[in-house]
Structure 1
């Protein structure tokens, strides 16, 4: 199988080539199929095994470097680069399978994949296709991902691929992404965690498939006794109908998500002002701690990755993932509408509705996103920034679409009138844009209902307040559904003979 499915390729620079083949003639279709096959035959494709071996070599080089303290920075960079190559992966859309006459024996059968992202706009409450960016309004047949830690080395492979496509390709759109390794103050630092443009550490929680990664989570990432990040292979892999018996692939969702940083921070400040009114009413001006808590209520983590359900201030520092919401059944530490709680309830459905935990865990997706636009936490009003969102799964409808539609967009999940996901939630077209969209936020961190004895009989004073934020501040600018073929299937594409 290809790389970047069971584990992220981990490179900091990425180019996404959005390909529309010229499929008008049998000759052009043959060349397009041979292009896909040739990516394997020429060893351009990064396999899962190659990715694993390069990761081990990279760790071995790091160990060598740590054992030689006098080595120069230049030599360090050269040694690390010698342990890895440019990552290349390819995926094909349902429209691509049909256009290349691969839609009988070779095409996967996931219903959402077969329909394509354009046909699922109403299901997901996405913007209409005519509002998408040009790269996505055209028919997309294939996506090639090229990634590396060195921009020049990456660009050389991109140029090579574009040259190979000449003569049988109508259009090659390109989206570029960069992993933003930034300190909390926005200063670039190669050793800093990856952040997205709202300022939060990204990619903290992922399903894990390799024993080494699971053991690492158990021993170095705070344990897995409360929340187990491991996942079975069928969470993300499916048998490739066009491959050999050992050929497996995965369905990928691709979405370009534009982030309005100014709008997000305006909402964050509005929430912080309400928090300040309850926390210190005599001096209700929001403090930096109030603002940080407001952002944590919206996202579910502080900017450094500290889960807000664990504590009311940042500072755990080790990007903890071993937590649940068991001790917060009423959402008084982490609101029900917080992004991380909406998208991964961590047992809430079992507690709230009695549903088996296994049912909730099978919905998890594998995120492979990277930021696009200016590398900064302070983008200007004209800067277009956001995420090139990719996720892998074995069923688009039962995983990605379920999370987006039934959880993030559902104002009544997990509790009635809990509100939309403040980050990725989208207003459902058949429901009003009114105060029922207001989220319910804790008056005080961890607060509970109280009795007001000034009334007779005493009345219950609620522990939350309602506030309708103006967001969401993430806008879908286009996308498509793809399948990552197995290596044996890609080779077979080059041998296909069309019926005359």
Structure 2
């Protein structure tokens, strides 16, 4: 397939919005669906194609947003021909639960402990995103009324929304108390402004990543257009979405800091070293000694660094959470040269209520994050990040150290904090601060592909 000559040839009206742009809706509901009647379901998917929020549509600030994706089992359930099903990547065909060992989803995170409906098949995902809870509720009610009698049923619906700040207004923080969503990949042709630090460092500062890292049928960072699942009319302008339901053990995190630190100031520093940013979002790479809320609030500065001046990790530890998920220019050799081939576009929101700051014990409530991770190659992007960067320290000379925040720690983990002019500090006995409670791999079709479901798939199946 000839490669488009540049990003201007992207059809932003044919690509679902969450494939290329980070969503900034404060409210969402994730509807997980089952297919019972293939013909009716195909017709429904075709009919709702025009309602899907596209990349171009995001410029109009739509509310609510509406996006649709199907698992491999879902594509099978609507009657996708076997040759087409077999052309999809193996990891997508197998699904997340079957890849648990590779992903580190063992022990408390094992599929046997996942919440319904992730303990069985999930055919489709419909994401309702909105600026208000009322808009979300109204759009969700309309969806449930719409799918009734159309060969689909609801397995579950998960509410998620930004957490309230001190004034009660929603703010972009996660349950551990840290500002979230700062580091997102800039994607060529998305229409979003290129902020410093969001793309790939080059001679001119920063450039956006090629669209093919996130959208099928577009040139990737190698300049090539990878082979598409067949038929191309189904897969072109699609993406893969990794859904992860992650429970956060907030009290365990706070308790670990209290036991490991000498005082509150030391606890704040230890937490920042583990995260790689202060609670405000100020990066240790630029504010190693103390928090800097003004820096954190400046989008032109808060992500503008590469780690080239901190290769030993004395400012930001090499094993810190944010540095593991995006090592930037802080790795040498082949590992460093391929960093930009493993980027993920993160969507999603927190679920559950905040644990009070003065809580004396874990209240047992369900709280965490619904993560939607967008990529064009699940194995090279999401699974690599999860297996190597999150759960294996050898890629950066860290031995058995895992990600201190989301790694598969079991009480025997450790975290190393290099220090200039002093012996390194080593935290021992890290428990798991995050446990997987469900997930699946989904395919996010282009708009034209969705429209074709009622006709082309039916004709091919017959």
Q: Aligned partners of 1:113, 1:403: CA distance in 2, in Å?
A: 16
Q: Aligned partners of 2:160, 2:25: CA distance in 1, in Å?
A: 10
Alpha-carbon spacing, 1:471–1:246, altered in 2? closer, same or farther (3 Å): closer
Is 1:497 the counterpart of 2:461 in the alignment? no
Alpha-carbon spacing, 1:410–1:194, altered in 2? closer, same or farther (3 Å): same
Counterpart for residue 464 of structure 1: 424
Alpha-carbon spacing, 1:21–1:243, altered in 2? closer, same or farther (3 Å): same
Counterpart for residue 475 of structure 1: 435
Is 1:235 the counterpart of 2:213 in the alignment? yes
Partner SS state of residue 331, structure 1: coil
Alpha-carbon spacing, 1:297–1:418, altered in 2? closer, same or farther (3 Å): farther
Partner SS state of residue 401, structure 1: helix
- Distance apart, 1:235 and its partner CA: 1.1
Counterpart for residue 21 of structure 2: 7
- Distance apart, 1:242 and its partner CA: 4.5
Q: Aligned partners of 2:281, 2:207: CA distance in 1, in Å?
A: 16
Q: Aligned partners of 2:234, 2:120: CA distance in 1, in Å?
A: 34
Contact 1:267 1:469 in 2 (8 A): no
Contact 2:197 2:305 in 1 (8 A): no
Counterpart for residue 87 of structure 1: 65
- Alpha-carbon deviations, 1:361-390, whole Å to 9, x = none? 111111102100115664761321100011
Which stretch of structure 1 is more off in the superposition, 483-492 or 374-383? 374-383
Q: Aligned partners of 2:21, 2:243: CA distance in 1, in Å?
A: 17
- The unaligned stretches of length 5 or more in structure 2 are 1-14, 218-227
Alpha-carbon spacing, 1:343–1:226, altered in 2? closer, same or farther (3 Å): farther
Q: Aligned partners of 1:324, 1:219: CA distance in 2, in Å?
A: 8
- Alpha-carbon deviations, 1:131-166, whole Å to 9, x = none? 110121121111000111122222122112112222
Contact 1:227 1:322 in 2 (8 A): no
Is 1:305 the counterpart of 2:281 in the alignment? yes
Contact 2:185 2:198 in 1 (8 A): no
Contact 1:227 1:323 in 2 (8 A): no
Is 1:203 the counterpart of 2:181 in the alignment? yes
Counterpart for residue 61 of structure 1: none
Partner SS state of residue 137, structure 1: coil
- Distance apart, 1:265 and its partner CA: 1.1
- Alpha-carbon deviations, 1:449-497, whole Å to 9, x = none? 5xxxxxxxxxxxxx21322143221000010000100111111111132
Is 1:116 the counterpart of 2:95 in the alignment? yes
Is 1:50 the counterpart of 2:57 in the alignment? yes
Q: Aligned partners of 1:93, 1:357: CA distance in 2, in Å?
A: 33
Q: Aligned partners of 2:16, 2:278: CA distance in 1, in Å?
A: 34
Which structure's CA Rg is the greater one?
1
1:41-440 to 2 correspondences below 5 Å:
43-52=50-59, 54-55=60-61, 84-104=62-82, 106-107=84-85, 109-126=88-105, 127-167=109-149, 168-180=151-163, 182=165, 186-189=166-169, 193-209=171-187, 215=193, 217-218=195-196, 228=206, 230-239=208-217, 241-242=230-231, 244=233, 247-273=236-262, 286=263, 288-310=264-286, 311-315=288-292, 316-317=295-296, 318=298, 320-350=302-332, 354-355=333-334, 357-375=336-354, 378=357, 381-417=363-399, 419-427=401-409, 437-440=413-416
Q: Aligned partners of 2:45, 2:191: CA distance in 1, in Å?
A: 31
- Distance apart, 1:246 and its partner CA: 9.9
Partner SS state of residue 51, structure 2: coil
Alpha-carbon spacing, 1:411–1:212, altered in 2? closer, same or farther (3 Å): closer
Q: Aligned partners of 1:347, 1:220: CA distance in 2, in Å?
A: 13
Alpha-carbon spacing, 1:333–1:5, altered in 2? closer, same or farther (3 Å): same
Partner SS state of residue 331, structure 2: helix
Number of residues paired by the alignment? 420
Q: Aligned partners of 1:51, 1:377: CA distance in 2, in Å?
A: 35
